[in-house]
Structure formats: structure tokens, C-alpha cells
Amino acid sequence: MTFSSLAVNLTPPPQGQGSPNLLLQFLPLGLIFLIFYFLLIRPARAKQKAMQTMLEALKSGDKVITSSGIHGTVVALQDDIVQVRIADNVKVDFSKSAIVTVVGKRE
């Protein structure tokens, strides 16, 4: 291999008429963002909104499950504290955010 053939191979390819369209360069990045939005961000927001609605609708007598797996019945509600009866004469205070599921509504 001679120096002249090496120099020919190292020269950059000829440019076309101007640079590629800027929109075409950012189109894949925009598509990736849209995919992430619809597959990850949007469902997470919907789930968070449903959880907030469930916690706001919580009332005395609802049967609930806490994040630690304790099943009980809501006895009293304060600002951010929920008192749950887990057995006869056994009431435990939980943070409202510890309530994961409402199993049954008030009887």
C-alpha cells in the first residue's frame, strides 16, 4: 500500500448540497421521548392519580390493606393519619400513604 492510496482513503467523502435537515436529525430523539411518555410516564401519572382519589375517598368503615400487608377496618381519619382496627380492641395508627388498597366499602 502506497502513501498516495492511503491519502485517498483518508479524505472525507464529498459533501452533498448543504447539511442534512435538522428536523431529520432530531426526529429519532423525539420518537424515543414519545415512546417513553406513553409507555412509562403517562401510566405512572394515571396510577398516582387513581391512588390519590382512593385515599381522598377513604372513610370510616372501609376495609383496607396497608403497604406492610396488614388487613383491617378504618376506624378514624385525621389529616394524614388513619386509625385501623386490626383485631378486637386493637387499633393501630398508620400514615394515610401506607394504605395501598381499599378491599371493601363500608357495611
Q: Are residues 64 and 104 in the same domain?
A: yes
d(CA 77, CA 60): 7
Indicate the DSSP class of residue 102.
Answer: E
d(CA 52, CA 75): 20
| Cβ burial, residue 72 (10 Å; 0-12/13-18/19+) | buried
* Collapsed DSSP state (helix, strand, coil) of residue 44: helix
12 within domain boundaries? no
Whether residue 56 has pLDDT greater than 70: yes
| Residue from 88, 78, 84, 87 nearest 101 by CA | 84
Across 2-11, average pLDDT: 56
Domain range for residue 81? Answer: 59-107
Indicate the DSSP class of residue 23.
Answer: H
More confident residue, 57 or 21: 57
Q: Are residues 69 and 96 in the same domain?
A: yes
- For 68-80, the pLDDT digits (tens) are 999 999 999 998 9
Write down the mean pLDDT value for the chain: 86
Label residue 42 by pLDDT band (50, 70, 90): very high
Q: Are residues 65 and 39 in the same domain?
A: no
Q: Are residues 70 and 46 in the same domain?
A: no
More confident residue, 6 or 75: 75
- For 79-96, the pLDDT digits (tens) are 899 999 999 999 999 999
C-beta separation of 65 from 105 below 8 A: no
Report the number of distinct structural domains present in the chain. Answer: 2
Whether residue 50 has pLDDT greater than 90: yes
